[in-house]
Amino acid sequence: MPLPSHRLLSGRLGLWWEIFYRFGPPRWTLYMRNNWAGKRLVIALPYLWLVLFFLVPFIIVFKISFSEVRLAMPPYAPLWEWISEKAIDVHLNLGNYLYLVTDDLYISSYLYSIKVAAISTVFCLLIAYPMAYAIARSSPATRSLYLMLIILPFWTSFLLRVYAWIGLLKSNGVINNTLIALGVIDEPITMMQTDFAVFIGIVYSYLPFMILPLYSNLEKHDFTLLEAAADLGAGPIKSFLRITLPLSMPGIIAGSLLVFIPAVGEYVIPSLLGSSDQLMIGRVLSDEFFANRDWPVAGAVAIAMLILLMVPIMVFQHFQSRELAGAK
């Protein structure tokens, strides 16, 4: 068999290439080509991961959501009990889900969580789009630096970053002390324990999840289309609205869902920065599990929240599939 140009390599590298091409690929490579067992094993690993860490916990929580609360360990009654060898007594409690619909606390918590997540997503989009567009139009060397700065906050603890905002927003924090020193205000502004602080924390924490999908989409655009539009008399605003914005819709939807879905169930930021009278559903879920020890109601809250997020998750998967198909 004639050797390729790799044979021209000197030293040990050229020798190894010669041996490889003369004696053929290793046996395991031939085995992988001729047998589907290895491919099936590779495909089975992510499915096994999903079964162990998503499907099994989901089934457990789903079962608990139909149980009755009990002052015992665990704090819920079993769904079925064996009365005899041939008879099973089933205790199916649907009151936990009815309780979510009739109690104003849970309804207001769900609505408040959706409102906070939606407003935070809009702010993230307004801030992230110009940043992603600027990164996509920059030179390759500068682009790498910008992307590193975007990812840099993930190198520190999420909890530490939220605590840093407490030091900035509290009454004697950095922002109030700076404004008082400059003479802009006479007394501290109340920013902690407000919706403003929650929005600031969520937007800051989830902004990279909006920037990266937008950049991934904008970086693939053919910018000669904008030059052609300019030659035809279209201004920058019209070119953006007619060309750039429609082409970037998959990135906008993907980034918005990546922010909205986790923001709905956010627990740390509202607990540390928000007020105690406005509860998001993540805080309610935690209180039911650990404070009230009402695991059946907590399970019903978790299942209802998952059902609520199923639609945006399916939309995200749809547009992600379209994005991957377009990349190919």
Q: Are 280 and 267 in contact (CB under 8 A)?
A: yes
The pLDDT score that the predictor gives to residue 273 is 93
- Sequence length of the chain is 328
Q: b/e map of 90-127 (b: 16 or more CB within 10 Å)?
A: eeebeebbebbeeeeebeebbebbbebbebbbebbbee
**Has residue 15 been placed in a domain?**
no
Mean of the pLDDT values across residues 268-296? 88
Report the mean per-residue pLDDT for the chain: 83
Closest CA to 284 of 294, 192, 311: 294
Lowest mean pLDDT, pick from 8-12, 249-253, 317-321: 8-12
Q: Residue 158 maps to which CATH number?
A: 1.10.3720.10
Mean of the pLDDT values across residues 268-285? 88
Q: Could you give the number of structural domains in the chain?
A: 1
pLDDT at 203 over 90: yes
**Has residue 318 been placed in a domain?**
yes
pLDDT at 277 over 70: yes
**Has residue 244 been placed in a domain?**
yes
**Has residue 321 been placed in a domain?**
yes
**Has residue 2 been placed in a domain?**
no
pLDDT per residue as tens digits for the range 155-200 = 888 999 999 999 999 989 999 999 999 998 889 999 999 999 999 9
325 band by pLDDT with thresholds 50, 70 and 90: low
**Has residue 157 been placed in a domain?**
yes
Mean of the pLDDT values across residues 86-92? 76
pLDDT per residue as tens digits for the range 64-84 = 999 988 887 888 888 877 776
The pLDDT score that the predictor gives to residue 33 is 52
**Has residue 131 been placed in a domain?**
yes
CA dist., res. 204 & res. 321, Å (int): 28
Distance of CA 90 to the CA centre of its chain: 38
Mean of the pLDDT values across residues 245-261? 91
**Has residue 52 been placed in a domain?**
no
Domain extent at residue 179: 103-327
Q: Name the DSSP letter for residue 328.
A: -
pLDDT per residue as tens digits for the range 293-310 = 899 999 999 998 888 888
- pLDDT over 70, % of the chain: 85
State the CB neighbour count (10 A cutoff) for residue 316.
Answer: 20
